[in-house]
Every structure is written in C-alpha cells, then in structure tokens.
Structure 1
Amino acid sequence: MLIIKLDAIPSTNSYLRMLSSEKRLKDYTVVQTTNQTEGRGQRGTSWYSEPGKNLALSVFKDVSGISLKQSFLISIVTSLAVLRCLKTFGIPKLKIKWPNDILAENKKICGILIENVIQQHQYKGSIIGIGLNVNQITFNNLPQASSLKSITGRNFNFDELTNGILKELKKGFKNLEKGKIDDLKLDYEEHLFRINKPSTFKDAEGNMFSGYIKNVSDSGALQVLLEDGIVRAFDLKALTLMY
C-alpha cells in the first residue's frame, strides 16, 4: 500500500486519476492532504476546507470484479467504512445521508465522491475521494456542517484517521468479494438518515414534497413512500433529501 502525502493540492481525486492514467496503480494507492484547494462534491458542488484542519484523501481500488449495474456497492462499502472507522474514535450518532454523506448529530462531517474508470464497458478501477472535517470548528454560512473536534472537543491525528478508514475499506471490499451483498446493503440501510421517518425532499425542478424513505434499490435509487401511498424510486440527480 502506497500513501502519497502532499502539502497542498487542488483535488486528491484529480491527482490520483492523473496517476492512474500514467501507470498501473497498486490496489489501495492513496493520495492524502490537509490542504485541498478545489475539493468537489456530488452534483458538482464545491467542498471548502480550511488549510491544515481537515483531511482529504483519495484511494485507488481495483473494482474489475464489479459489474456496471453494481456500482452503488462501491458507495455502500465506502460509506460504511468511514462510519465504522469514526465509531472507533468515539464519534456519536453517526448516520449516512443518501447517497454517501456521513452525519454526526445530524450534521455533515464527511463527503464522499466516487469516480469510476470504465474501459470497454467494464470497471477497471475506482477513485474513492473522502473529505473529512476534522479539526476545523468554524463553518461560515454552512449551518449543517460540523467536524470531529466540534462534536468531541478533541483534536484528531490525520494519519490515524487515514489508517482507520483504509482498514475498514479493506474489510468492506473483502466482504463484497465474499458475496455478502445483502449484509452490506442491510447495514447501510440500518444507518440511513431519516429512514422510515417523515421527510422533506426537493426534486430536480425545485418542487418540495413529503415522504418516507423505505430503502435503497440495488442500483442505488432511493425508494420513497409518497403521500398517495405509492413507492417511487429516485436516482441521485432527481432528488435532494432536505435536513
């Protein structure tokens, strides 16, 4: 396992993708920084990180054994790996906000961005990007954001967090290789934010509506029970779950 530490970089995902295009990377090659200047999130959102206070890392994973239809399994494994790691550090009330934000005490502490490399209609690799709010305590104009230090009052070591996440990632992908898909999906849904609770959503046109999260389909679509009693599936670009 190779861990590349950089003082500052625009995006760990972009850097690791560049490396993967230049040479064949070993499984679990990691790029890590505490100063990511142009972090990206889901739907093209930016991810601001105060220099030296937070952890950004990207992991290259060989996912050639996963079919295109199973892509959401990568997100499930990654979300659970981060959550399980943070549990070992004593972070309370952890939840996964669909599809893969990590919350603690109902506030976002971690964002995940997964970019897959596809060749000839098959996965060759996955760039798993993780942005974790660690020791930053001020989040201007971001009322739903928090950090490990804000929640616990403690400072955290970046290398210990990286090693913990990698340990859980390896466990998760090992379970995936063993075919424990149902167990992983069940664990993911058990930690899903607002599952079976009345929730507010916004669709792609900006319309607000209410419903209950029931589960997640194999493809990663969110299954929502609407007020008319119909369960409808929404993909990532079609729906936003409000806090």
Structure 2
Amino acid sequence: MYKILANTLFLGKEVIYLPVCHSTNDLAMDMLKSGKVTEGSIVIAGEQTHGKGQRGNVWKSAPDENLTFSLVLKPSFLNAMDQFDLNIMVSLAVVEALAYFDLELLVKWPNDIYTKNGYKVGGILFENVISKGKVSGSVVGIGLNVNQRTIGLDHATSLINISKRQFDLKTVFDLIVHRIEQNYIMLKSGKHKQLKESYLKQMYLFNVWSKYSDENEFFGKIRGIADDGKLIIEKESGMINFYAFKEVRFIKE
C-alpha cells in the first residue's frame, strides 16, 4: 500500500508498513537506537494498539481510516537548545500539505493540528535523542484523523467531517512527507527565522484575546514563541508570561 516515495530526496526511501503495530514511535525509536536505520526511514501502521500522544496521552485511531506513522531524522546540525525548531517545521509542513486539499487548518501550540473553530484533527509527538549538545536523532510521530467519521472525543474531528469527502490515505501521506522534507532542508540551510514566521501565521489564536488557565483563569493573547519553544502570552494586565508545555491551557467556551 505504502511504497517508497519517488518525489523526495531522502524521506520515505525506506517505508515499513505494518497492518497492526503497538506504537510506530516505539518501533522507530528502537530502530534509531540500533544505529542501523537510515535518516528518512518511516514506520506506518494501519492500526496502532498503543499509539502515543504528548506526555503519555494515548492516541486512538480506527483501523485503516487514518494516518499513523513515525519518521526518523538525524538533525545533528541542530543545537539541543534549538530542538523546538523541529516542532515548528513539521507542524507547519502538515498544515501546508493539507492546504493542497483547500483545508484551512492551523497549528495549536506546540504541535496539534486544529480547525479554525477549535477542533483537533491531528497531533505530532517528538522524541529526541541529545548527544554532546546536539540533536543526534529524532523520531517524529504523526497521527491524523482522515476518514474516521465518529471520533468519540470532545473537540475532535477529521478531514472527512470537515470537507465532506473521502481521502486517499496514500496521497495525503505522500504530500505530508514531501512537505516535511522541503521544510527540513530549509531548517538545515539555516532558515529558522523564515520557518518561525510562517508557523506564527498559521498559529491557532495568535494575537487573539482568549480565555486561558495557568493556576488561575485569565484572558490573554498569544504574542509569539520563545527560542526554547515556550509560549509567550500577554495578559490583560499587560504582563508577559512564558509557558512550557502543560503549564497553561486554552479554555474553549
């Protein structure tokens, strides 16, 4: 079903398809740690029995209706302090690829894929290996609700529900991988600022007053992303706060 990609330079030149897999990220990480995997290798599953989300959350997906895959990168050119740039370039690539289908989606910090009205359609999990101050390896897991009509989670949806059309999973997969490679090449060539600017333009609730909660509920406006990936929010009082992942949450009204 999923073959070697012809329109890429190195991503997807080895594609391992498994009808059922406990976690593509776990398998890809084992391959990375073995030292026997080439950069750009991809593990994709028709069904994940223990799909992983951020910070131990579980990613649930119906068999053969969605995309659940992990790719291996070796961005040793990237300093450990700049590892959030991987989040930026991959999240942006997914949104850019889906724009091919006239889908206007956004990135919800740090790396979820959202509709403009606040429904999640996908998520991305990064597991990085740091060595001597560099990102020696990274496993990027992508889960995208594509043809699954009933999600069973609040504030979640799928591409088929948004567009009222069926998608060819292989086509969506190819477009996403191709776009990730293009953005990765940009990152490798030092175009960090350009990627970050594009990410902010595609960012959910950027420069919009919304309701949040840290230790208390408050109204705030996202002003940007710090170099270390922290979310910058301006409160109504004018105070500027920097938040790491799970230190603040958006309250959907």
Q: Which TM-score band applies after superposition, normalised by the shorter structure?
A: over 0.9
Pick aligned residue for 1:170 from 181, 185, 199? 181
1-structure distance, mates of 2:237, 2:148: 43
**SS in structure 1 of the partner of residue 233 of structure 2:** strand
> 8 Å contact 2:15–2:42 — kept in the other structure?
yes
- Number of aligned residue pairs: give it: 239
> 8 Å contact 1:43–1:237 — kept in the other structure?
no
Q: Which residue matches 1:215?
A: 224
Show structure 1 runs of 5+ residues with no match: none
Matches within 5 A, 1:139-218: 139-140=151-152, 142-203=153-214, 205=215, 207-218=216-227
TM-score by length of 2: 0.91
Q: Deviations over 1:89-114 (max 9, x none)?
A: 222x3111010101124311110000
Q: Deviations over 1:58-115 (max 9, x none)?
A: 0001110000110100000000110111011222x31110101011243111100000
1:228 corresponds to 2:240: no
TM-score by length of 1: 0.94
1:239 corresponds to 2:251: no
1:104 corresponds to 2:129: no
Show structure 2 runs of 5+ residues with no match: 1-12
2-structure distance, mates of 1:215, 1:45: 26
Q: What is the root-mean-square deviation in Å for CA atoms of aligned residues? A: 1.3
Fraction of identical pairs, as percent: 34
Q: Which residue matches 1:44?
A: 56
The alpha carbon displacement at 1:154 in A equals 1.5
Change beyond 3 A, Cα 1:134–1:99: same
The alpha carbon displacement at 1:162 in A equals 1.5
> 8 Å contact 2:47–2:62 — kept in the other structure?
yes
The alpha carbon displacement at 1:202 in A equals 2.2
1-structure distance, mates of 2:26, 2:102: 31
* AA aligned opposite 2:177: L
